[in-house]
Amino acid sequence: GSDKLHLAILHPRKLSVYNVAAMSGAVEHGTQYQMTLAYEHKLQRTAYNFCFGPFGQVKGRDFICVQSMDGTVSIFEQESFAFTRFLPGALLPGPIRYLPRLDSFVTVSSSWQLECYKYQVLAVATDSKSREESQNVKSGKKVVPDWCFNLGEQALDLSVVTYQTAPPSIVVLGERSLFCLTETGQLRYMKKFDYDVSCFTPYASITEGTINYLLASHTHTLMIFQDVAMKWAAKLDQVPIMVRVGNFSDLKGVIVTLSDTGRVGCSYLGTDPALFIPPPVEARDLNYGDMDREMIQLQKVIKEQQAKSAIMPNLTGKEEDLTINVHVSPNLDDVSMASGVEIDGEQVPSITVRIQLKSRLKLEDVRLNIHVQWPLAANLTSFKIHTVDTGQPSESFCAFFIRGKALPSDLSAHVSAKYISTTGAVRIASAQIKLPLKLIVKPVLPVKNAVHKITLDTNKPPANLNDIFPDLLGDNAGGQGLALGFQYFGGPVVTVLASKTSNRYRLQCDLFEGLWYVTRELALRLTNHFNKGKVGGFSVYFSGQVPLNDYFDIIETHYEHRVNAENCKEMLAQRAAQFRVIQRRLLTRFKDKTPAPLQNLDTLLEGTYRQLIHLAETIQENDIHLEVASNALCCATNLFNFILKLWTNMSEEEFAVLQASVTPLVVDTLEAGWEETVDASVTHLLRTTLAKSAKDQTLNPSPLRLPEDTSKVKKHIALLCDKLSKGARLLDGLPTNMSVSQGGQLSKPEKKNKVSSTQKTVIENGDMEHHDNDDTETLIGSQFSMAKNRDRDNVNMNGLPSLSKLGPPKRQDPDGVYESRKKDKIDSLVPDLDEMTFEGPNLLPIEDN
């Protein structure tokens, strides 16, 4: 042993101790130090950290304690190995320090507790019969800590403070807190942080009874604390993983930091006093008149500058750092890029869109995101562009196609680019992509009969439909241009008819929601066709009967799927609770030393398990149906609002209010669904803007919850239509609307007998049946001899066979008799949880906990 100063270096599998000798330098660099190896210890376990001190309170010598990665501690008494001990609960190592006053070690265990162990307790805790210590021990006596303190978080560092002006303390740095305790484990104070800390070091006790320490954070900040009060803060260029206060020959109290990249920095806080002392200001008399004139002039300059400047600059497209240009190919892809298509037995086309990025400055790491509404999809949704040069625009290609079994409600896609501007701010550039109609429909022969029909009136003679839809003619090319047929991929057929004798167009389809996008496209193309050049004044209006019944049927379908989802989830929770109760009883039976008969508990368990699987599959199937029903409701709402706009000749501002109230955005969350949201919005309109008097403007909104039925929302929508038919406006301050189509009527919801499809046609189209029915019959009968009768009851929202009422999914058996009997037997054996009060005689009742 030796009492001289040595340097100990801990390697993963070795502990080396060096002698350090100082030699006078022969050159200007000063004193030199030479290290020679005194001794080393080979370690049997991978080392993590170590501490040193006069273990056992020896005089004039220091021993070393090494903690390994598995939490064991090994004691080395200079050149000789002493012992190795396991610490309880030490799954992972933590910071460890030695307390000289108590001859104890303090460390943080894996359970986030600060623990203190006496050195003597560790030294005598051995069960080795030969009393020979070894590093490769695998067992030992359980040692008990002297005291414990629950930190509640992982400790980053630990320090023992023994200043003369402060009581002996243990300071622990956690991930978000700092703890100061006495040597006996009593908490002195605690400091919580709102940021992630990286390291700390106590350095002095300036005021009596307080501790000063440096604290570094991951926000590049170095702070000085005195107990829990922050005294100073400074910014660093790096995040240190270790900080100390050093005293060198010419540098006193320098802050030494070490980063995770190995960079060592020596710095000060920049608190040296300034030597320059400004001279005293020469006193002079104040001239208030000159001060007033100068103030007026300065205020005038400030007002002029405020008028010229803005808080946020109004950047034009040319001033943006990045602009997005999209180009949609006029033709469909020769080879379809569609993937994951849910439509069976039909080739789905795709169309390629070119996305071009132009930048004024060189940009890097641009993230491009593409969003399109289901059932449409894109082959790429997100990709990264490494560099966008100023002289060479970046081009990317993306293919769009229809994937899901539903009718699209919108043919627009959204592309956005996220980038970092030259000022360092995160910016986003976006653009809209308008996809063509031929992406979702294909030309087919017109269908004579359909369930749902609407008629659009115009103020111009009917146009040739071949000129309106030149890209969707197909087999209809060369015809008279009075009838065209379009079929959605995997969906129904929509027929467009033009009258010979009147300025009317009829659209008919077996699905009400299937009329939406073709109706919108027809109105848009007719407007562009008649308003070409200098000729204008074309308008489209609706004078038929507002199809409330058809719209309400779709609302009812959507609501039924929502109710089914809630019922199945409630039943699933009940069966899960029942399953756990049966498991608990079976476990009690199996643990019993004198097992009793199971009394069909195993059958109950199997039956409940089958019901759980059934309910899970049913919920999954209902979620798919709910998504399709939501999409159908979105299409139907768009069509319904569009009809109301044409019917009442709404302005764009009023139509925006209508779209916000009867919203086509169908989103059903846990908090609220479409029915209650629309009901609240329409009720608010009826009680405010559409109220007859101030007396009617009573606002008492009810909480949004799943309604018992759809009667209220249907009643309020019908009342809204009635108000609009009488000239009411959706914006305050507008005169009464006198341009509501006089021929338009409201289709009042009937409770018992609904109007048949033939009666609807006569009512909805009025005198169009009288004028041009013969032309339509002749046209379809002679040129297109394909009369198809469709029934709404046999068709779902995709044009496929309708879904049955929600229930457990049917199994695909040849006859289904066996599975039906098996299911009935299981159901009869599995009662509800409320009925399972007792298993049988001599059994305890089921507890709910």
pLDDT digits (tens, 9 = 90+) for 176-226: 999 999 998 999 999 999 889 999 999 988 888 899 999 999 988 899 999
CATH of domain 318-438: 2.60.40.10
Higher pLDDT, 38 or 282: 38
Kindly list the distances between the CA atom of residue 515 and the CA atoms of 319, 342, 520, 706, in Å, as whole numbers in the listed order: 43, 22, 9, 29
CATH of domain 443-546+767-794: 3.30.310.200
pLDDT digits (tens, 9 = 90+) for 362-377: 888 899 999 999 899 9
Confidence of residue 658 (pLDDT cuts 50, 70, 90): very high
**How far apart are the C-alpha atoms of 78 and 16, rounded to whole Å?**
11
Lowest average pLDDT, out of 399-413, 671-685, 722-736, 820-834, goes to: 820-834
**How far apart are the C-alpha atoms of 773 and 777, rounded to whole Å?**
6
**How far apart are the C-alpha atoms of 153 and 445, rounded to whole Å?**
72
* Contact of 143 with 88, CB cutoff 8 Å: yes
Looking at residue 350, its pLDDT comes to 94
**How far apart are the C-alpha atoms of 270 and 262, rounded to whole Å?**
24
> Which residues of the chain are in CATH 2.60.40.10 domains?
318-438
Q: Can you tell me the mean pLDDT for 14-35?
A: 79
**Which residues are within 8 A (CB) of 82 and not within 5 positions of it... i.e. 6 or more apart?**
63, 74, 75, 76, 123, 133
Q: Which long-range contacts (CB under 8 A, 24 or more apart) does 147-151 make?
A: 147/115, 147/116, 147/184, 147/185, 148/113, 148/114, 148/115, 148/116, 148/185, 149/113, 149/114, 149/179, 149/181, 149/185, 149/187, 150/112, 150/113, 150/114, 151/108, 151/112, 151/113, 151/114, 151/177, 151/179
**How far apart are the C-alpha atoms of 447 and 508, rounded to whole Å?**
9
Q: Can you tell me the mean pLDDT for 71-94?
A: 87
Q: Can you tell me the mean pLDDT for 332-342?
A: 90
User: Any idea how long the chain is?
Assistant: 849
Looking at residue 435, its pLDDT comes to 94
- Predicted TM-score of the model (pTM): 0.54
Looking at residue 269, its pLDDT comes to 79
Looking at residue 571, its pLDDT comes to 93
Kindly list the distances between the CA atom of residue 726 and the CA atoms of 409, 632, 740, in Å, as whole numbers in the listed order: 30, 29, 8
Looking at residue 763, its pLDDT comes to 27
DSSP H helices in 68-141: 119-124
Looking at residue 747, its pLDDT comes to 56
* Contact of 586 with 626, CB cutoff 8 Å: no
Q: How does the average pLDDT of the chain come out, rounded?
A: 80
**Which residues are within 8 A (CB) of 637 and not within 5 positions of it... i.e. 6 or more apart?**
551, 662, 663, 664, 666
Residue 254 burial by Cβ neighbours in a 10 Å radius (0-12, 13-18, 19+)? middle
* Contact of 216 with 200, CB cutoff 8 Å: yes
**How far apart are the C-alpha atoms of 668 and 560, rounded to whole Å?**
13
Looking at residue 633, its pLDDT comes to 94
Confidence of residue 782 (pLDDT cuts 50, 70, 90): very low
Q: Can you tell me the mean pLDDT for 788-810?
A: 37
pLDDT digits (tens, 9 = 90+) for 35-72: 899 999 999 889 999 999 999 888 888 899 999 988 88
pLDDT digits (tens, 9 = 90+) for 115-161: 999 998 888 877 555 455 666 666 667 788 999 999 989 999 999 99
Lowest average pLDDT, out of 97-101, 154-158, 697-701, goes to: 697-701
- Look up tokens 């170095």; give the residue: 222
Write out the two tokens for 834: 């409320």
Looking at residue 247, its pLDDT comes to 85
Higher pLDDT, 30 or 586: 586
Strand partners, 37: 18
Confidence of residue 28 (pLDDT cuts 50, 70, 90): low
Write out the two tokens for 244: 């100390």
pLDDT digits (tens, 9 = 90+) for 341-363: 988 888 899 999 999 999 888 88
Neighbouring CB atoms inside 10 A of 49's CB total: 16
> Which residues of the chain are in CATH 3.30.310.200 domains?
443-546+767-794
Neighbouring CB atoms inside 10 A of 470's CB total: 10
Looking at residue 20, its pLDDT comes to 87
> Which residues of the chain are in CATH 2.130.10.10 domains?
6-267
Looking at residue 481, its pLDDT comes to 82
Fold designation for 6-267: Methylamine Dehydrogenase; Chain H (2.130.10)
